[in-house]
A and B are shown apart, each in its own frame.
Chain A
Amino acid sequence: MFKKVELQEGVTLYIRKSDQFKTVNFSVKWKTALDEKKSAQRAVLSNVLQDSNGRYRTQTAFRNKLDELYGTVLYADVAKRGETHIFSLYAECVNEEYLSEGGVLDDVLGLIQTTIFDPNLVNGQFDEAIVNREKRSVIERIRSLYDDKTRYAQKRMLELIRPNHPASASSYGTEADVEALTSADLFAAYTQMLAEDAIDIYIVGDIDDNDMINKIKSTFTFNARKPQAASHAFVTQPIANQQHVREQQDMKQGKLHLGFSTPVTFQHPDYAKMQMTNGVFGAFAHSKLFMNVREKESMAYYASSSYASHYGLLYVNAGIDAELEDKAVNLIKEQLVALQQGDITALELEQTKALLANGIKSAFDSARGQIEVFDQYKEQDEHFTAEKLIAGWQAVTKEDVQQMASEITLEIVYLLSGKEAV
């Protein structure tokens, strides 16, 4: 689906000409092995680079320019996937054929180039005031997780089963690591990222692709690099026994989070089977969890499972009355036992296959979806298509799901609830 052009060793351009959208989308991704200190540096760096640059030295000047370019979106963000940390720079501008003026696309390309190669430096360093301000912003973003009880409960659950591990690490690093950063650290991190990371550049839109390839080649002057295979910098110890942890805050609902492990990961040959198993178990509104915990017992508004394939983990989340914790946990366990015993109907398999197919095909109906899905699945197969994935799910049998369910092991029951409830 994307035309692939190797710009340099370790620097690849993926480009797709399409008239489906009214905008042109850009995404530049820097990838490195996940490491908490690096995460902290890059989280702050993403804020600093999108704030201003050598041509537009204040946020106001830069944002005014983007507004003039018909509300061009340009921002940077960080994320993690498996054991990889990803720094992404995104831009999106309206295709000129819908505008009353030309030159927008070239201007935007120039701004992306400026953002990457010509940051806002004072005496060869990032401006101390900007760095300090953005450190504060990232710290507050990390702290605000506490206020979102569902996300907080999920984070606590992961810390308990996978302490000091990529699965529980924040892509923003720790508060302490952000706090300790200096302007010089940040500049070193920036230089290293530009010189050493694996870089994937994505462009989707109604563009002249050869012309665009030439422009990128001549202006995005990255050096060749030999990216290291992702190998995380964490020293992890296995957590032995099944845990049951209750924590309390001043709140009303009980946030029930169960963590399960499975040997089947994203790269595993049985990956499609495990996706199907998660689907029958709890990913959809026809799934066992929704039908039994919500519809049959009226115990929850949400009760669902999700499969974190990169970490070999499967989560079940439900919002319940905390006094009914045991009943809910038993009900959830019963649904898994049902799968393990082969209590799986042809209808459940058919529904799950249909919705997985709908999900992947729908994802391609946005430019960002095309980029993100491709960026992930190309690690399995550069020539993957939605049809190939769908064929993989179609081949899954009841026995496969039963087999996969038997490889799912409960590691933790975690409940975050109000102080008076338990």
Chain B
Amino acid sequence: MKKIHFEKLQETLYNEKLSNGLDVYILPKRGFSKTFVTFTTKYGSVDRTFIPRGKDEAVTVPDGIAHFLEHKMFEKEDGDVFQKFSVKGASANAFTSFTRTAYLFSATDMLYDNTEILLDFVQEPYFTQKTVDKEKGIIAQEITMYDDEPDWRLYFGTIENLYHEHPVKIDIAGTVESIQDITAEHLYECYETFYHPSNMVLFVVGAVDPEEMMAFIKKNQDAKTFDEPADIVRIFPTEGDTAANTERTLAMDISKPKFNMGMKCNKTDVEGEEMLIQELSSGLVLDLLFGRTSDFYTAAYNEGLIDESFSYDFTLENGFGFAMVGSDTEHPEQLEAAIRQTMRTAVDNWPITNIELDRMRKKKIGQFMRSLNSPEFIANQFTRYAFNNMNLFDVVPTLEKLTVQHLQEAFQTFADDNGHTIYSVVPADKAQ
């Protein structure tokens, strides 16, 4: 077991890659009563075309299947896994993103019993056509719930606008129609391909004894047999740098128009340190151009172009990435002009110097320190970073060495007008 001490952060991380390929990380947190454990596979909604384990030819599976599989993992022959966690006082959950499926629990008692439940339920699939069909009603209601959430529609509409082919444009849960095609065989095929321990990370953070916990996990894993690790072949369509649609509008029953501008990132074949630098730099650029201390924000807020719903965000994964800037607004045209003007000005006359960078760097270091109070943040982010060959605990040293040049280069990856799009959700009574 490796022991990595981070002196400045006063944290010690324990890590071991087990013989079956599972990567285990343990981070004890002083003073905490709860332990948070995540068991995550590098498998999300974008992994829809791949060569199944043991086969030669690629298949494309129905949309929403990774999320469907996540739901179905909780049902076993002897009942619902939530019931088992509840008896042991654990609050359990799961989520599916574009690139990951995570199973997790938080508990203040019976840590080993709960860890065993987690490891065992994720590693013992049980799918029948009857239980699969039963789940369709539940997930249909989940999809319908999201259909009525204007901010979710705004977010996904923007991504749909940005991408021609890449499956990031497909809603994570799929559609009520697409999930009807899902069968138990599909689920087994996806499970066998993506849930091998060598494609997964287990992260334990909080009240935990690292040696004892590692020994417990090893014993659990050693008692199970797995196939040899195999490389996973995922197939993605080629995707250009331009936005697929420049502008679209959706009418919903809302009170105030919602506006979002998406900016496609043209450098996404990255991982490791390069990715960390690009991601942190892009975040800093957005903070400086659009954050609360920016000229843009001050003017837009004073003029009523944006309100408290204003937000911006940068997403980067291997194969896709985008910045978004949006707000509820009664003046979408003026807001669009102000955002475009801010981007154009930064292209023509780069506004960020060391003074701004140093201030924002301090802010980001503080934010990172604050987030280390949260076991949930540490486990989820560490795993995401690990799947991209980055280390969460490199964030502060990387922030410390960023230069204005890094920020300018990162900005260039989403500055091109041709990769920009507008998506709006407007009140139905004011539409057309």
A residues in contact (CB < 8 Å) with B = 18-23, 58-60, 63-64, 66-73, 92-94, 97-99, 133, 136-137, 140-141, 143-144, 146-149, 249-253, 284-286, 290-291, 294-295, 297-302, 319-321, 347, 350-352, 354-355, 357-359, 361-362, 364-367
> Which of B30, B139, B150, B366 makes the CB contact (< 8 A) with A93?
B366
Q: Is B80's CB under 8 angstroms from A252's CB?
A: no
Q: Is B255's CB under 8 angstroms from A143's CB?
A: yes
Q: Is B82's CB under 8 angstroms from A285's CB?
A: yes
Q: How far is the CB of B31 from chain A (nearest CB, A)?
A: 3
Q: Is B145's CB under 8 angstroms from A301's CB?
A: yes
Give Cα distance in the complex from A62 to B324, angstroms. 26
- Are A286 and B82 also in contact (CB < 8 A) when A70-B365, A136-B304, A354-B109 are? yes
Q: Is A358's CB under 8 angstroms from B363's CB?
A: no
- Are A67 and B141 also in contact (CB < 8 A) when A285-B92, A362-B106 are? no
B135 proximity list for chain A (CB < 8 A): 298
Q: How far is the CB of B30 from chain A (nearest CB, A)?
A: 6
Kindly identify, within residues 109 to 151 of chain B, every residue whose CB is under 8 Å from any CB belonging to chain A. Answer: 109, 134-139, 141-142, 144-145, 147-150
Q: Is A319's CB under 8 angstroms from B366's CB?
A: no
> Which of B145, B363, B375 makes the CB contact (< 8 A) with A71?
B363
Interface string of B75-100 (1 = CB under 8 A from A): 00000101101111111100000000
Q: How far is the CB of A68 from chain B (nearest CB, A)?
A: 6
A319 proximity list for chain B (CB < 8 A): 141, 144-145
B residues in contact (CB < 8 Å) with A = 8-10, 29-34, 80, 82-83, 85-92, 106-109, 134-139, 141-142, 144-145, 147-150, 206, 252-256, 292-293, 298, 301-302, 304, 307-309, 328, 359-360, 362-367, 369-370, 372-375, 428
Question: Which 10 pairs between the two chains have the least Cβ-Cβ distance?
Answer: A20-B31, A70-B366, A71-B366, A298-B137, A354-B89, A250-B253, A351-B86, A71-B363, A285-B82, A301-B142
Give Cα distance in the complex from A284 to B85, angstroms. 11
* Best-surrounded residue of A58, A93, A147 (most CB of chain B within 10 A): A147
* Best-surrounded residue of B145, B301, B374 (most CB of chain A within 10 A): B145
Q: Is B88's CB under 8 angstroms from A20's CB?
A: no
Q: Is A59's CB under 8 angstroms from B298's CB?
A: yes
Q: Is A291's CB under 8 angstroms from B134's CB?
A: no
The chain A residue with its CB closest to the CB of B87 is: A351
- What are 8 of the A-B contact pairs (CB < 8 Å)? A19-B31, A63-B293, A71-B362, A71-B367, A136-B307, A144-B328, A285-B80, A358-B91
> Which of A23, A295, A347 makes the CB contact (< 8 A) with B370?
A23
> Which of A59, A144, A350 makes the CB contact (< 8 A) with B256?
A144
> Which of B86, B298, B364 makes the CB contact (< 8 A) with A285?
B86
Give Cα distance in the complex from A161 to B363, angstroms. 46
A358 proximity list for chain B (CB < 8 A): 34, 89-91, 106-109
Q: How far is the CB of B125 from chain A (nearest CB, A)?
A: 18
> Which of A300, A354, A365 makes the CB contact (< 8 A) with B141?
A300
> Which of B150, B309, B369 makes the CB contact (< 8 A) with A98?
B369
